[in-house]
Amino acid sequence: MRNKIRSIGNSLAVRVRALHPVTILAVGMTCATALAQVTPITLEQAIQTALTENLELKAIRQKIDVAQARLDGIALLGNPELETSVLPGEGGEREVELTKEFQLGGQRGHRKRMALAGIEKVNIEIADAQRLLIKEVKEAFYELLLTQEKIKLAKSIVQLSGQIFDIATVEFEAGEVPITEVNLAKIELQSSIREQTELENERELAQLELNGLMGAPMESPHLAKGELKYQPLRLNLDVLKTYALENRADLLALQVEGQITQSELALAKAENAPDLGISLITRREAGETLFGGKISIPLPFFDRNRVEIGAAKAQQQVNRAEVSTHQRQITREVVGAYLAVNAFQKVLAFYEGGILDLLDENLELTRTAYELGEAELLEVILTQNEFIETRFAYLDALAAYTKALVELEAAAGENLGNIPMARILLETNPYSVATQQFKGNNNRQPSIVNRKGRTIK
Q: Which of 147, 181, 142, 330 is nearest to 246 (CA)?
A: 330
- Does residue 263 have a pLDDT over 60? yes
Lowest mean pLDDT among 229-233, 259-263, 447-451: 447-451
pLDDT digits (tens, 9 = 90+) for 326-354: 999 999 999 999 999 999 998 888 887 67
pLDDT value, residue 76: 66
Residue bearing the bigger pLDDT, 407 or 351:
407
- Does residue 18 have a pLDDT over 80? no
The pair phi, psi for residue 281, each rounded to 5°, is -125, 135
Task: Please answer whether residues 191 and 37 qualify as being in contact, where contact means their C-beta atoms are separated by less than 8 angstroms.
Answer: no
Mean pLDDT calculated for residue range 279-289: 79
d(CA 237, CA 408): 10
Q: In sequence order, what are the residues at sequence separation of 6 or more whose Cβ sits closer than 8 angstroms to the Cβ of residue 185?
A: 161, 164, 165, 167, 168, 169, 377
User: Which segment, 290-299, 362-371, 414-423, is predicted with the most confidence on average?
Assistant: 414-423
pLDDT digits (tens, 9 = 90+) for 377-395: 888 888 888 888 889 999 9
pLDDT band at 148 (very low <50, low <70, confident <90, very high): very high
Task: Please answer whether residues 338 and 235 qualify as being in contact, where contact means their C-beta atoms are separated by less than 8 angstroms.
Answer: yes
d(CA 416, CA 409): 6
pLDDT value, residue 77: 66
Share of the chain above pLDDT 90, in %: 42
pLDDT digits (tens, 9 = 90+) for 97-144: 888 787 777 788 888 888 999 999 999 999 999 999 999 999 999 999
Task: Please answer whether residues 393 and 386 qualify as being in contact, where contact means their C-beta atoms are separated by less than 8 angstroms.
Answer: no
pLDDT band at 90 (very low <50, low <70, confident <90, very high): low
pLDDT value, residue 431: 67
pLDDT value, residue 353: 67
Mean pLDDT calculated for residue range 234-254: 94
Beta bridge partners of 441: none
pLDDT band at 370 (very low <50, low <70, confident <90, very high): confident
Domains and CATH numbers, the chain: 2-456 (1.20.1600.10)
- Does residue 32 have a pLDDT over 70? no
Mean pLDDT of the chain: 82
pLDDT band at 453 (very low <50, low <70, confident <90, very high): very low
Parallel, antiparallel, or unpaired for β 39-41 and 222-224? parallel
Residue bearing the bigger pLDDT, 445 or 226:
226
Mean pLDDT calculated for residue range 65-91: 78
pLDDT value, residue 17: 38
d(CA 342, CA 405): 10
Residue 191, CA distances (Å) to 139, 187, 370, 395 in order = 29, 6, 20, 20
Crossing angle for the helix pair 107-173 and 63-72, to the nearest 10 degrees: 180
pLDDT band at 268 (very low <50, low <70, confident <90, very high): confident
Give residue 301's Cα distance to chain centre.
Answer: 57
Lowest mean pLDDT among 88-102, 112-126, 188-202, 318-332: 88-102
